[in-house]
Amino acid sequence: RAKSAGGNRFELADPEADARAITRHGLTTALPAALDRGEFFIEYQPLVHLGDGSVRGAEALVRWLHPQHGVLGPDRFIPLAEHTGLIVPLGRWVLEESVRQARAWQERHAEAGPLRINVNLSPMQLTHPGLVSDTVDILERAGLEPGALCLEVTESALIGADDDLLKPLRRLSEMGVDIALDDFGTGYSNLANLRRLPVNVLKLDRSFTQGMQQFPADPVDLKIVEGIVSLAHSLDLAVTVEGVETGAQAEQLRELGCDTAQGWYYARPGPPDRLHDLALADATS
């Protein structure tokens, strides 16, 4: 099917693009009912202390068990949910479910130390007026202390952010909730800008750890990471690294002074009981 409109005579049909568009459209319209029917679920990926290798908590990563397409990753549907606004109730559900889960881990085994939970926030959730009150309600109902929650916000969501946008994050931060700058290094970050953001954790994007995959690692990559870590620490920010896939990377990142790590080397995202088992195993080993 070529476009009938006058000037576009050479634009040919692209059946694959059509199929993608249909799927996108189909997925978008199916989202609200999916939330009602409970088709979303959360996997948890451990956050590991680089100094002693202990599990300190987990990041909540949402998935959609679609009745026809099987398990869909967040990259397939989060942008659609952002676009339609469904991200607000979906994000609230993720927060509620994972905060409840974190409290359940804490109750099941105090010996593993107070496990923490990281939850991703979309740009639209940031501008939603209920963010602070919803978060407070959710923490209170679950009985989780604010200090056990870390909200992850991407660098791009905060680019050019004015004070109105930062105010809710600042309120949460004052309550003791940690705020992490996710995917750090992928945007056009103005490092000086970090000072005015209510952020206390920097999550270095996977692209940095990828540069360390080969051995010996690229010395320029190492210098860059070293520089970011020292800058972060001088601003009182903790550094978490994403995408750690090998023991050599973990060792190198530890030497460079990174605080916490996450990646397949430790564990892939998995069901809540797996996190429980991992945390318990290293508390009793």
Positions touching ligand C2E (CB under 6 A) are 45, 61-62, 73-75, 78, 91, 94, 120, 122, 152, 182-183, 206, 242-245, 262-264, 269
- What is the contact surface with Mg ion in residues (CB under 5 A)? 120, 152, 182-183, 242
Q: Which of Mg ion, ligand C2E, none binds 252 (CB below 5-8 Å, type-dependent)? A: none
Q: Which residues, including other chains, have CB under 8 Å from residue 195's CB and lie 6 or more apart?
A: 235
Q: Which long-range contacts (CB under 8 A, 24 or more apart) does 28-37 make?
A: 28/80, 28/83, 28/84, 30/66, 31/77, 31/80, 31/81, 31/84, 31/86, 31/90, 32/86, 34/64, 34/66, 35/86, 35/89, 35/90, 35/93
Residue type, 213: Q
| Closest approach of ligand C2E to the CB of residue 75, in Å | 5
| Closest approach of Mg ion to the CB of residue 86, in Å | 19
CB nearer to Mg ion: pick between 118 and 252: 118
Q: Which of ligand C2E, Mg ion, none binds 143 (CB below 5-8 Å, type-dependent)? A: none
Angle, nearest 10°, between helix axes 87-108 and 131-142?
A: 30
| Closest approach of ligand C2E to the CB of residue 117, in Å | 12
| Closest approach of ligand C2E to the CB of residue 251, in Å | 15
Q: Which of ligand C2E, Mg ion, none binds 243 (CB below 5-8 Å, type-dependent)? A: ligand C2E
Q: What is the three-class DSSP state of 57?
A: strand
| Closest approach of Mg ion to the CB of residue 35, in Å | 21
Q: Which of ligand C2E, Mg ion, none binds 145 (CB below 5-8 Å, type-dependent)? A: none
CB nearer to Mg ion: pick between 96 and 182: 182
CB nearer to ligand C2E: pick between 64 and 105: 64
Task: Please give the backbone phi and psi of residue 203, each rounded to the nearest 5 degrees, phi first.
Answer: -105, 110
Q: CA-to-CA distance for 27 and 41, rounded, in angstroms?
A: 16
Q: CA-to-CA distance for 117 and 149, rounded, in angstroms?
A: 5
Q: CA-to-CA distance for 104 and 115, rounded, in angstroms?
A: 10
Contact 162, 189 (CB under 8 A): no
CB nearer to ligand C2E: pick between 92 and 103: 92
CB nearer to ligand C2E: pick between 71 and 110: 71
Task: Please give the backbone phi and psi of residue 244, each rounded to the nearest 5 degrees, phi first.
Answer: -80, 115
CB nearer to Mg ion: pick between 63 and 109: 63
| Closest approach of ligand C2E to the CB of residue 94, in Å | 4
Q: What is the three-class DSSP state of 103?
A: helix
Angle, nearest 10°, between helix axes 74-84 and 87-108?
A: 130
CB nearer to ligand C2E: pick between 40 and 105: 40
Q: Which of ligand C2E, Mg ion, none binds 114 (CB below 5-8 Å, type-dependent)? A: none
| Closest approach of Mg ion to the CB of residue 59, in Å | 6
